[in-house]
Amino acid sequence: MRFETAAAPHVIAGYTVPRVMYQVLLALLPVTLVQVFVHGPGALLQLAVGVPTALACEALALRLRGRAARPFLRDGSVIVTAALLALAVPPLLPWWLMLLGTAIAVLLGKHAYGGLGYNPFNPAMVGYAVLLVSFPLEMTRWPVPLGTAAIEWSELARLTWQSFIHGPVGGPGAWDAYTGATALDALRTGLGQRYTMEEILAQQAFGSLGGAGSQWINAAALAGGAYLLARGIVRWHIPASVLAGIALPAATMHALDPGAHAAASFQLFSGATMLGAFFIATDPVSAATSDRGRLFYGAGIGSITWLIRTWGGYPDGVAFAVLLMNLAAPLIDRYTVPRIHGHAGR
């Protein structure tokens, strides 16, 4: 009797890339909901533009590259890219900018380098960085968090829709009542204008822990991240080192000079800290390879984020920190090859 032949092992766990990606999407749900609650329905609108754009770009790129489109469209990675970008950009972003950012992320950030598994940079952050340097005004215009200004959610939704469809009509002044600086932005501006830390923290943009709105979003991202850790989708090395990379310098400088540096808790719960630590920095393709390398990689992202927030030209630095450490990942890999069984320590 004859039998088929095949190479060992004959049994595999049957994990799949889509399984990984859909778990990530599931973990993004709390962030999305909280952002919709705090900043209005903009996040949903951005998702509604981003996801179809990303899928279309992916299909187009695969077709141009002569690859089978279906397994890659189904793997979910491009949806994750679009979702991360949609949650990172301001909810008021006009639809054509989201479309542009997504197309850049997928076409230039991912497929120009060979598609899934080959991109040296985090595609979502490539899209984000291009939008940020090209459209600084639109990319820093966040609605004030619900509850801090006299505005109803329905009114916020109407204005969001208007901005989404038509852009910032009515000139820069018309929006001042409903949009404002984020907490990180307010901190920078305030410190630049020589206000004291107490005066700055008393502004409406600040909550008890971080930004008035962003502390809730960060808490939701932390919850999603905890889910990913518990499910074994991400390992602890990158999130822990990113958070430590932000918290350690922040706590040190806060202790030395509380008047000029915000507390570590503020840094951890404002801006894109938690989203970055658990969802963006953990993209394995563009991260360092070994566990030890990932500790350096995460610590680099955390500390560069803090450096940019403190002394850099932008209020938040997660995107640039991730891209910079993406650049450094091959170098980190070179020096962090783990000790092989039976070899002397390196």
Partner 1 sequence: MFDRREFPSGLQLVPHKAAALERAIFEAPAPTLATVALEQGNGREARPTVSAGDRVRVGTLIGRAMDEGTVAVHASIAGIVRAIEVRETASRAGQGLCIVIENDGSDQNEPGLEMVEWDSLSPEMLVDRIRAAGIAGLGGAAFPTAAKLAAASRRPATHLVLNGAECEPWICCDDALMRERAADVVLGGQVMLRASGAARCTIAVEDDKPEAIAALESALAAAADPRLELRLLGATYPAGAERQLLAVVTGTEIPHDAYPTDVGLLCQNVGTAAAVASLVRTGMPATRRVVTVTGSGVGRPGNVEARYGTPIADLVAACGGYRSDPRRLIAGGSMTGRALPCDAVPVTQAVNCIIAATAEDLSPPRREMPCIRCGDCAGVCPAGLLPQSLLRAAGADDAELLETFGLADCIECGCCDYVCPSQIPLTARFRSARAARALRLDEQRRAAEARERYARHERRLAEAAAAEREAFEAARRRARGGPE
Q: Shortest CA distance to 327 belongs to which of 282, 276, 286, 284? A: 286
Residue ranges of alpha helices (H) inside 65-172 are 70-74, 77-88, 95-103, 123-134, 136-139, 153-166
Looking only at residues 281 through 310 of this chain, which bind partner 1 when binding is defined by CB under 8 A? 284-285, 287, 289-291, 294
Residue 118 within binding range of partner 1, rule CB under 8 A:
yes
Number of residues that bind partner 1 (CB under 8 A): 45
Looking only at residues 170 through 229 of this chain, which bind partner 1 when binding is defined by CB under 8 A? none
Among 38, 39, 75, 97, binds partner 1 (CB under 8 A): 75
Q: Which is nearer to partner 1, 29 or 333 (CB)?
A: 333
What's the one-letter identity of residue 46? Q
Residue 337 within binding range of partner 1, rule CB under 8 A:
yes
Q: Which is nearer to partner 1, 33 or 333 (CB)?
A: 333
Residue 327 within binding range of partner 1, rule CB under 8 A:
no
CA–CA distances in Å: residue 108 to residues 41, 48, 82: 28, 21, 14
Among 49, 71, 181, 314, binds partner 1 (CB under 8 A): 71
In sequence order, the 6+-apart residues with CB closer than 8 A to the CB of 20 are 76, 233
Please give the Cα distance from 229 to 88 (Å, whole number): 21
Looking only at residues 4 through 23 of this chain, which bind partner 1 when binding is defined by CB under 8 A? 4-17, 19-20
Q: How far is the CB of 122 from partner 1 (least distance, A)?
A: 13
Looking only at residues 27 through 56 of this chain, which bind partner 1 when binding is defined by CB under 8 A? none
Residue 66 within binding range of partner 1, rule CB under 8 A:
no
**Residue 59 host element (H or E):** helix 42-64
Q: What is the largest CA-CA distance in the chain?
A: 87
Q: How far is the CB of 153 from partner 1 (least distance, A)?
A: 39
Q: How far is the CB of 8 from partner 1 (least distance, A)?
A: 5
Among 2, 137, 171, 194, binds partner 1 (CB under 8 A): 2
Provide the β-strand partners of residue 143.
Answer: 179
Q: Shortest CA distance to 202 belongs to which of 148, 150, 279? A: 148
Please give the Cα distance from 248 to 300 (Å, whole number): 12
Chain residues in the site for partner 1 (CB under 8 A): 1-17, 19-20, 71-72, 75, 77, 115-118, 235, 284-285, 287, 289-291, 294, 333, 337-345
